[in-house]
Amino acid sequence: MERELRNTLQTLRHTDEALQQKTDELADFLDAAMVGLHRVGPDGTILWANQAELDLLGYRLDEYVGRPIWEFHADRPVIEDILTRLARHERIEDVEARLRARDGSIKHVAISSNVFIKNGQFAYTRCITRDITAQKAADHARDIAARHSQRLMKITAAIADAVQREEVLDAVVNQTAEALGASSVGLWLVADDKQTATLARAVGYQEAALKAVRVLPLHGTPNAPVVDAIRTGQPIFTGTPEALIALYPNLAPLMSKGRRYRVSCLPIVVEGRILGCVGFTFECATPAEADDAAFMMLVVRYCGQALERLRLLDLERQSRARSELLHGLAAAVIRAKSAEHVFEAALDSIGEALGATRAAVLVCDADDVMRFKAWRGLSDGYRKAVEGHSPWPRDVRDPRPVLIPDVRLDPGLASFRPLIEAEGVRALGFFPLVSGERLVGKFMVYYSKPHIFSEPDMELAAAIANHVAAAVCRFSAEADLRETVHFNEMFTAILGHDLRNPLAAILASAHVAQRRSVNGPLSAPLERIINSGGRMARMIDQLLDFTRVRLGSGIPLSPLSTDVLRLIQDVIAELQEANPHRTVRLKHLGGATVGVWDADRLSQVFSNLVANALLHGAADAGVTVRVDGTSQGQLLVDVHNMGPIPPELLPRLFEPMTGARHRGESARGMGLGLHITREILAAHGGRISVHSSVDAGTTFRVVLPGAPGLAT
């Protein structure tokens, strides 16, 4: 019995020892586990925590255990929610929470827990605290990187899509400042003359600083990182104010004490050309991150490409606009009915092309003195004072434009300066109008501020000057020609009138003499005098009629009641007498033939048509004249012969000087007969037409419109 009891006790001791060992091992396992573990009582007091938990937060055991769990949570609602759910015996898994470490830092953790229930009561919680701080930091960094990347993509896309300069500047300056967290960003562009860089866009600058950096001279002192970046084409990064002052001591007085910042200046370079610079300022002393620097350089590179693209687009637009402008001017010059119209069109073009609201066109007069022909925005007094002045000598060959970018700086205009300045002119340009190397005038442009004339402006001005010069010469030549023609026509008309009287005396005397010596020895010579005199009279008539038509006064009519049939009978009788071996038949097809017409002129018409028919028709076929008064409201007269007219002559048969003379044949007249015939009929409101073929011969049809007395 005793022995059995001893054995049992021995067994129990072994069992207890084994149990204790297991318990120690478990305690050690829990205490030394790599994951944080703790227990919390029903009242929220921490009952136990392992070393990993203490290590996670940096507390000693006595600082942690025995304290309420919510004291270590940064977010009270989170732990309250966890405790509430555990109180409902819920199981929670990986609930994220933020814990305060002993050093004040925040640890991100994921908590999993459930409740140990003893005798149906909440005994304590079994909590696992997993440190996810590194993971959260990595997630955060990834989010930042992603947002950063999105912003960068947005900026580069905005730069790439920009079609306006302002859009590029906005993307490069405003959006980049926001993306990189820069306190200020400025973008300077180098001026055309390469002497200065001008601030095109800025954000974050104080007003006083803006004034100081708006225009930076690129040569001489004082120096600045923006200027250096432009001069050298190399980026400049300064990590601290001290580093900046070391490089640019002249900036020291401008710096705020105690302010920590760094500056990055990146030149905008395109195909070796430096367009400008972008300057960034960051309000912290930490060095620039490599990514930020790379990004800035990328943005500036895109900026350069975009500005260059826009410059080329602008050039193309300007080129197109200039082309349209010149096209418009050329069209206006062609349409212009006078030189004044050309000058007005030129002033429009000059104003648009050169951006000048004031301009003038002057043309050399007969004495080679420049006279104002058209102007805008110039006072009478100014014009009067400068008229006649020219920057070129009168006998200059191939003169070049003279440009005065700033009147105050030009010694050549010293004597005119008070006058020019009183007119409010600060810059002006003289552009010569040249024709065949000869100076024929000039056009002027005036500006109220100093003005740089660009190469494209000069080219455009030269093109405008060419158009105007050509027009000036054209209108001058036309005026000379008109004067000559008018003189000639007046001369012809006067001469014609004056020739008539002696010719009339000759013919009348010859008639008298002929009648007194019928069949006498003088009969034949007198006949020749009368015939030739008659021809000369007809030629004078034609010459005068032609001159009248050319002068625009038309054929004068003296309409009286006239019987065309009788008139034609007289014409035929007269021609028949002169051509006794030819046959001229007259057919009246019916109807009235009386109207109010100019009998003398109609005699001229039919005499011309029948004489032509006799002259050009076949000798044996005769001539037929048909008078038809049966048509409603009009009288038709056809004159027909069998002589065909060459087809190529028909379209211009009624034009002056188209007949035998034009064909190189010997001419009995001046080739004006049919032209004047047409004009006489037109003066009556009538018309003439011709149909001709080898088979049917030639028929001239005269249509006279109805008139009082003509049966309808």
Partner 1 sequence: MTVLIVDDEPDIRNALAEFFRDEGLVVATAANGAEALEFLEKAPLPKVVILDIAMPVLDGREVYERMQRDVRLATVPVIVSTSDPSRAPSGVLIMRKPVNLTRLLDAVRQHCC
CB of 659 to partner 1, least distance (A): 23
Q: Which is nearer to partner 1, 241 or 496 (CB)?
A: 496
- The interaxial angle of helices 599-616 and 564-578, nearest 10 deg, is 40
Round to whole Å and give the CA distance between 57 and 70. Answer: 14
Round to whole Å and give the CA distance between 288 and 277. Answer: 18
Q: Using only C-alpha atoms, what is the Rg of the chain? A: 56
Round to whole Å and give the CA distance between 187 and 190. Answer: 10
**Residue among 435, 436, 460 nearest 445 (CA):** 460
CB of 476 to partner 1, least distance (A): 33
CB of 537 to partner 1, least distance (A): 5
Q: Which is nearer to partner 1, 264 or 547 (CB)?
A: 547
- 3-class state of residue 265 by DSSP: strand
Among 243, 560, 589, 619, binds partner 1 (CB under 8 A): 560
Round to whole Å and give the CA distance between 292 and 299. Answer: 10
Round to whole Å and give the CA distance between 176 and 182. Answer: 8
When asked if residue 505 is in the footprint of partner 1 (CB under 8 A), the reply is yes
When asked if residue 556 is in the footprint of partner 1 (CB under 8 A), the reply is yes
When asked if residue 121 is in the footprint of partner 1 (CB under 8 A), the reply is no
- 3-class state of residue 399 by DSSP: coil
Q: Which is nearer to partner 1, 52 or 493 (CB)?
A: 493
- Assign 3-state DSSP to the chain and report helix, strand, coil percentages, each to 5: 50, 25, 25
When asked if residue 432 is in the footprint of partner 1 (CB under 8 A), the reply is no
First vs last Cα of the chain: how many Å apart? 173
When asked if residue 477 is in the footprint of partner 1 (CB under 8 A), the reply is no
CB of 634 to partner 1, least distance (A): 24
CB of 578 to partner 1, least distance (A): 13
**Residue among 709, 548, 547 nearest 629 (CA):** 709
When asked if residue 515 is in the footprint of partner 1 (CB under 8 A), the reply is yes
CB of 520 to partner 1, least distance (A): 14
Stretch that binds partner 1, among 102-110, 194-202, 252-260, 550-558 (CB under 8 A): 550-558
Among 63, 289, 316, 600, binds partner 1 (CB under 8 A): 600
Q: Which parts of 565-594 interact with partner 1 (CB under 8 A)?
A: 570
Q: Tell me the Ramachandran region of residue 329: left when phi exceeds 0, alpha when psi lies from -120 to 50, beta otherwise.
A: alpha
Stretch that binds partner 1, among 18-26, 82-90, 402-410, 512-520 (CB under 8 A): 512-520
CB of 484 to partner 1, least distance (A): 24
Strand 623-629 with 584-591, pairing: parallel
Stretch that binds partner 1, among 401-409, 529-537, 626-634, 653-661 (CB under 8 A): 529-537
Q: Which is nearer to partner 1, 245 or 670 (CB)?
A: 670
When asked if residue 502 is in the footprint of partner 1 (CB under 8 A), the reply is yes
Among 533, 617, 629, 673, binds partner 1 (CB under 8 A): 533
Residues in contact with partner 1, counted by CB under 8 A, come to a total of: 27
Strand 370-376 with 273-282, pairing: unpaired
When asked if residue 501 is in the footprint of partner 1 (CB under 8 A), the reply is yes
Strand 427-435 with 402-404, pairing: antiparallel
Binding mask 479-498 for partner 1 (x = CB under 8 A): -----------------xx-
Asked if the bond preceding 42 is cis, omega within 30° of 0, the reply is: no
Binding mask 658-677 for partner 1 (x = CB under 8 A): --------------------
User: Is 438 exposed, middle or buried, given 0-12, 13-18 or 19+ CB atoms closer than 10 A?
Assistant: middle
Among 507, 596, 649, 690, binds partner 1 (CB under 8 A): 507
- 3-class state of residue 552 by DSSP: coil
- Can you say how many angstroms the Cα of residue 278 is from the centroid of all Cα atoms in its chain? 30
Phi, psi angles (nearest 5°) of residue 267:
-70, 145
When asked if residue 708 is in the footprint of partner 1 (CB under 8 A), the reply is no
When asked if residue 504 is in the footprint of partner 1 (CB under 8 A), the reply is yes
Round to whole Å and give the CA distance between 283 and 274. Answer: 28
Q: Which is nearer to partner 1, 533 or 617 (CB)?
A: 533
When asked if residue 550 is in the footprint of partner 1 (CB under 8 A), the reply is no
Q: Which is nearer to partner 1, 537 or 650 (CB)?
A: 537
**Stretch (H or E) spanning 122:** strand 121-131
Footprint of partner 1 (CB under 8 A) = 496-497, 500-509, 511-512, 515-516, 533-534, 537, 541, 548, 553, 556, 558, 560, 570, 600
